[in-house]
Amino acid sequence: MGSRLIDYAFLNSRIAGMYSRFLTAEDVQMLVKAEDVGDFFRSLRKTSYSEFLSGIRPDEISAPLLESVLFAALFDCFQKIIPSLKDENDVNFLKQLLLIFELRNVKTIIRGKITGRSSDDLRRDLINIGKYSVINAEMLLGMHDLEEVIAYLEKHPSVGDIIRFAYERYKKDQNLYVLDSSIDVRYLADLYRSITPVNAYDRGRLKKLYGTQMDLNNILWALRLKFIYGVDPREILVDLVPEYYEYDEKFFKNIVYEMDIKNVFAILLKLPWTKYVKQEAVTIGDIERGFGLYYRDLAFNMFRADAFSLSGVVGFLFIKRAEVSLLVKILEAKEYHMSPEELEKGMQVQK
């Protein structure tokens, strides 16, 4: 235990330094007010992300490239943390977390195969995972079509179940959003199961964080399938990840068999994250933002309270990922020429 405390004492110091480089509210406002993707790039160079932007020429600037840069910055935090850990279960769990970068590359390649992008074009948007990579991205890039890529991935021990689950959903209506979300949903369920080997102190905290996220993702998935895509309730229940943390199958049946979305919102607004959602004119987007703020605060409390532990480290990485996700949303808004006023109405800006 003494050795473990020494490891985490060193890590706490390193993480405190990385935490000090989080963007301020002023930084975020500057990015929100950027006129376009090029202006977003110039504004981002004035922040702590500038070190990841060196070498990018003005003619290379694009939203996909900048998104890959933002995820590279997140990956850099993992690279600085994992070598400092000695406990095998802690390291294995963080490596499972690292799979998000591999899956992002997989998503990029799959979308590219569907939309007909060239391998050279796709390669610029991939994250270099180095020694932590478990999938041969170059092999995937060289494959002729989507079916060949999927066939390879479905047999892969690390991502096979995830891709098989997501691709089955995608084939129903050929919707890229469904494919993307399905990969995330199944990955989170697998991540939740991988918590079991860690020590008891961290296990309960990590299960609360990721179990809550898994439940809330299931709720969002049910809402979209029911009220946006009009999917039959019985099919929705089959499509949900069959692992629940706090809300059981009866709870989800009450959502998917309810005909009026206002009645569903009345159920949801009784849950613990109510304070994060406005009480009038509620939308699915409001629910999603409320969820995001709720489990971001769960992670922040872990980061602050669980020093010298894996859950404290994971809390930090979780809120760092939340920052990157926020920046990606702002970047996407710039790509589609959304005004700063529209952007601020459509999302809750980080404080």
Binning pLDDT at 50, 70 and 90, where does residue 347 land?
A: low
Task: Fill in the DSSP letter of residue 55.
Answer: T
- For the four alpha carbons of 86, 87, 92 and 96, in that order, the dihedral sign comes to negative
Query: pLDDT by residue (tens digit) across 203-223?
Result: 999 999 999 998 988 899 899
pLDDT at res. 210: 93
pLDDT tens digits, residue range 129-186?
A: 999 999 999 999 999 899 999 999 999 999 999 999 999 989 887 888 888 888 988 8
Alpha-carbon distance 348 to 346, whole Å? Answer: 7
Cβ–Cβ < 8 Å for 77, 315: no
Whole-model pTM: value is 0.88
Nearest C-alpha neighbor of 113 from the set 58, 161, 156, 151: 151
pLDDT band at residue 1, thresholds of 50, 70 and 90? very low
Residues 304-345: pLDDT tens digits? 998 789 999 999 999 999 999 999 999 999 999 998 888 887
Residue 100's Cβ-count burial label (10 Å; 0-12, 13-18, 19+) is buried
pLDDT score of 162: 95
pLDDT digits (tens, 9 = 90+) for 54-111: 889 989 999 999 999 999 999 999 999 998 888 899 999 999 999 999 999 999 999 9
> Residue 57 CA to chain centroid, in angstroms?
28
Tokens read off for 301 = 């409390």
Q: Which two tokens stand for residue 54?
A: 């060196």
- pLDDT tens-digit profile of 229-274? 888 999 888 878 777 888 888 999 999 999 999 999 888 888 887 7
Residue appearing with tokens 């009220």: 227
H-helix segments, the chain: 2-19, 25-32, 37-44, 63-81, 88-115, 119-123, 137-142, 146-154, 160-173, 176-193, 200-227, 233-239, 249-256, 261-268, 284-305, 310-335, 340-346
Q: What is the pLDDT of residue 169?
A: 86
Measured distance CA(135)–CA(122) in Å, rounded: 16
Can you give the pLDDT at residue 5? 67
- The predicted model gives 28-40 an average pLDDT of 95
Give the per-residue pLDDT at 350: 40
Supply the pLDDT for residue 349. Answer: 39
Nearest to 75, CA basis, from 53, 59, 98, 52: 98
For residues 314 and 300, the answer to whether their CB atoms sit within 8 Å is no
